[in-house]
Amino acid sequence: MSENIYSDLKQLGTNTALPDDPAKAELERVQNPQADVDYNVRFVAPEFTSLCPMTGQPDFAHLVIDYVPGAWLVESKSLKLYLGSFRDHGAFHEDCTVSIARRLAEFTQAKWLRIGGYWYPRGGIPIDVFYQTGPMPEGVWIPDQGVPPYRGRG
């Protein structure tokens, strides 16, 4: 590579505080050095946390994010900090899951993106939230998200 595609990154390699609100979190991206080929990138956040906007009680989810990048890749530390910024953020499961997907899709200009938000039960009801930007692209291996449906003692 003739130019350093990483030179504009500000958070990687530095001590970066966790943002206290998703709106304040700064996502970073780099040019995709393999932009001439379609492939899938998967991020898994098995300990995602947010707050119930009504009670302030913590909610927990296992997030699986798949995307087919175009010209940009999201930098993983900035994604980690963005997801962590939800820890003190009150929003329903559906809002958290879909807003994460929409922000990532817009920011990365992904060719395709999907998210599975597998929320752990509160009040005895697990909630799973699914979002994708369009039909799954042909010719790209996109494995099943691998998260089984929630089962109690049944």
The residues that are catalytic are 52, 59
Name the binding residues: 74-76, 93-94
Write b or e for each residue in 124-148: b if 16 or more Cβ atoms lie within 10 A of its Cβ, otherwise e.
eebbebebebeeeeeeeeeeebeee
Identity (one letter) of the amino acid at 92? F
Under 8 Å between Cβ of 73 and 41: yes
Name the binding residues for substrate: 74-76, 93-94
Alpha-carbon 138 to chain mean position = 22
Phi-psi region for residue 36, left (φ > 0), alpha (ψ -120 to 50) or beta? alpha
